[in-house]
Amino acid sequence: MANFSENVSLKPFNTFGIDARARKFQTFSSLGELQALLKSIGDSPLLILGGGSNLLLTQDFEGYVLKNELRGISVIEENKDHIFAEVQAGENWHEFVLHAIANNWAGVENLSLIPGTVGAAPMQNIGAYGVEIKQVFESLKAVEIETGIVHTFNKEECEFGYRESIFKKSHKGKYIITSVVFRLNKKPEFNISYGAIQDTLNELGISELSIKAVSDAVIKIRQSKLPDPKEIGNAGSFFKNPEVGKIDFEGLKAEFPNIPGYQLPNNVVKIPAAWLIEQAGWKGKTFGQIGVHKNQPLVLVNYGQGKGVDLKDLAFKIRTSVSEKFGIELTPEVNII
Ligand code: FAD
Ligand code: EPU
């Protein structure tokens, strides 16, 4: 019988720093341990915790919280062009990126400094600076919660989209990802066209491109834009950037001439939610212990003693005001529990 800790504060385990409690809490560091835990839990409510960097806890969790500590990185295959690395789901994402760079495995350098675990990365197909993990994703293994059986999912089966996968849709709450295989490149294909990467490389005085240089530039940009959860509680972008049809975008442009938009395939335009939230008057606003970040209004913050439920209320007020002003419904990126 598993030896669960009881009534455990989750404050150290979520980057918002919300002091919600878990009725039962346990870590797992092997597949066998996880399968045994699942058996003893039965049908009780279950929350899988990685780094807690994409979660908003709005209440105590009246069930079992299992924290993923599966570790290990191994090369399972290699050919002329690629390295296939299998990474256990509890590995820290950024440490894996640094490991890849140290070994000259290219493909994840643009995803430097994203918090959290490798196992949570496919959940929302993490992305930044022009790259998403689906571009280097080969397959993953996941335990079916109901049966304890391990299944393998290839890329198509994961149904990756912008901050989306099958594990947030029809398979939501049904699987625990235990490892991910990445197909990394021996020869880098640099992707430096996004945002300020090129300018930052110039600022850093880098003339010879390398995956380490790209990573350094991405880290510098991220540190200048996003609050460090060690200093101010947050979970990165609270909402996704909305996508609208080209015709709707033209209508918005007529009314709001400065509205930014990025053209995607199929006549779709992505609008920065940060701009919409700033225009709706929320940027830098503080409400007691919580607020909207002063440099990046897409990031909601907890100054220390904030409550999850208040952050959720704030998020929904922001959503309503953006909807009233622009007719656009923002969708949360953060998992609200
Ligand atoms: P958690 O928060 O622990 O979990 C997130 C969800 O996934 C929960 O529903 C949880 O139950 C579930 N889950 C976790 N692990 C597993 C598993 N092994 N199997 C099944 N379900 C699981 N994201 C981006 O895409 N791009 C960014 O640039 C980015 N920048 C960020 C910057 C900051 C400062 C912060 C705080 C967050 C940022 N994020 C970004 C969001 C976050 O880092 C990612 O979503 C990350 O993948 C979450 O990992 P985690 O281990 O912390 O997940
Ligand atoms: N903007 C404003 N006001 C601001 C800040 C930004 O209007 O105060 C507008 C500007 O038009 C700016 C645009 O927003 O050009 C985009 O801002 P930024 O480059 O900071 O990126 P983002 O769209 O807000 C997205 C991701 C981030 C990712 C970065 C870099 C989403 C929801 N967010 O943010 O991911 O790191 O791009 O690629 O797609 C996350 O998912 O948690 C996350 C941090």
Q: What is the pLDDT of residue 184?
A: 98
Of 86, 91, 163, 215, which residue is the catalytic one? 163
Predicted pLDDT of residue 207: 84
333 is catalytic: yes
8 Å CB contact between 133 and 126? yes
User: Is residue 251 within 8 Å of 245, Cβ to Cβ?
Assistant: no
- pLDDT averaged over every residue in the chain: 97
| Distance in angstroms (rounded) separating the CA atoms of residues 179 and 1 | 25
pLDDT for 3 equals: 84
Average pLDDT in the 307-333 region? 98
Ligand 2 neighbour 129 (Cβ under 6 A): yes
Indicate the pLDDT class of residue 68, thresholds 50, 70 and 90.
very high
Judge contact between 197 and 214, C-beta under 8 A.
Answer: yes
- DSSP string for residues in 236-282: EESBPPPEEEHHHHHHHHHHSTT---EEETTTEEE--HHHHHHHTT-
Is residue 101's pLDDT more than 70? yes
With 0-12 / 13-18 / 19 or more C-beta atoms within 10 angstroms meaning exposed / middle / buried, residue 265 is exposed
162 CA: nearest ligand 2 atom = 39
Would you call 21 a catalytic residue per the annotation? Answer: no
pLDDT band at 2 (very low <50, low <70, confident <90, very high): confident
Return the ligand 1 atom nearest residue 47 CA.
11
| Ligand 1 atom 22: residue of nearest CA | 120
- Mean pLDDT of the 13-22 span: 98
Separation of 25 CA from ligand 1 center, angstroms? 19
Whether the per-residue pLDDT at 30 is higher than 80: the answer is: yes
- Per-residue pLDDT, averaged over 157-177, amounts to 98
Provide, rounded to the nearest whole percent, the portion of the chain with pLDDT above 70.
100
Q: What is the mean pLDDT of residues 72-82?
A: 98
**Predicted local confidence at residue 307, as pLDDT:** 98
- Whether residue 114 has its Cβ less than 6 Å from ligand 1: yes
**SS3 per residue for 48-98:** EECCCCCEECCCCEEEEEEEECCCCEEEEEECCCEEEEEEECCCEHHHHHH
Confidence band (pLDDT; 50, 70, 90) for 1?
low
Residues with Cβ within 8 Å of residue 322, at least 6 apart in sequence: 273, 276, 277, 280, 328, 330
Ligand minimally distant from the alpha carbon of residue 261:
2
CA 299 to ligand 1 center in whole angstroms: 14
How many angstroms separate the alpha carbon of residue 149 from the centre of ligand 2? 39
How many angstroms does the Cα of residue 272 sit away from the middle of ligand 2? 6
Q: How confident is the model at residue 120, as a pLDDT?
A: 98
Residue 39 alpha carbon to ligand 2 centre in Å: 42
- pLDDT-derived band at 16 (thresholds 50, 70, 90) equals very high
Token pair for 157: 């089966």
Residue bearing the bigger pLDDT, 311 or 42: 311
Tell me how far apart the alpha carbons of residues 52 and 137 are, in angstroms, rounded to a whole number. 22
Where is average pLDDT lowest: 84-98, 198-212, 303-317?
A: 198-212
Ligand 1 contact, 88 CB (< 6 A):
no
Nearest residue by C-alpha to atom 37 in ligand 2: 128
Catalytic position from the list 91, 109, 243, 333: 333
- Residue 202's H or E segment, with its range, is helix 197-203
High-pLDDT (> 90) share of the chain, %: 97
127: CA distance to ligand 1 center in Å?
A: 11
> How far is it, in rounded angstroms, from Cα 261 to Cα 302?
29
Report the nearest-CA residue for atom 13 of ligand 2: 272
How many angstroms separate the CA atoms of 30 and 122, rounded? 20
Q: Hunting for tokens 């919280």 — which residue is that?
A: 65
List of domains in the chain? 5-68 (3.30.43.10), 73-225 (3.30.465.10), 233-336 (3.90.78.10)
Whether 139 lines ligand 1, by a CB cut-off of 6 Å, is no
Q: What distance in Å separates the CA atoms of residue 154 and residue 233, rounded to the nearest whole number? A: 35
Q: Which of 298, 299, 322 to mutate to test the pocket of ligand 2 (most atoms within 8 A of CB)?
A: 298
Amino acid at 41: I
